[in-house]
Amino acid sequence: MRRIEAALSARFGYEATATIRIHAELRAVVNDAPSGFGDDPDRYRYDVLFFMDREAVASDVIKDVPARDGVDAVATGPGVLYFTRVTARASQSHLARITGRASYKAMTIRNWRTTTRLLERMDQRST
């Protein structure tokens, strides 16, 4: 993993950190998403907050993730948080505030489309 972080840092000019999920872990993230998560991309934006530390407990991390009533919704999952924002009110979302929190350095955020596409590629490679 250190080689990946070094390559990303050199390529993009910032101190990169990385986390790796095996196929079964990413499958669990997708399968365990809240009911309806990702189903209405015209109305909502969907993100998955992956914890760098697999041992981190989602119910503890969620306490440090800002959510605005009526705009944001956050749910826990296996080593992740699922974050939903109302697209029409995305500028009012508190997700951007996470960058100022200590917990932000211990996670990486991917949108739902990227997450499911990564799983699709893993599925293709395993056949």
Domain edges within the chain:
21-125
DSSP string, 17-52: ------HHHHHHHHHTSPTTTTS-TTTEEEEEEEES
Q: Model confidence over 82-124: pLDDT tens digits?
A: 999 999 998 899 888 888 887 788 888 999 999 999 999 999 9
CATH architecture of 21-125: 2-Layer Sandwich (3.30)
Q: Model confidence over 32-88: pLDDT tens digits?
A: 999 999 999 999 999 999 988 777 778 888 888 889 999 999 999 988 999 999 999
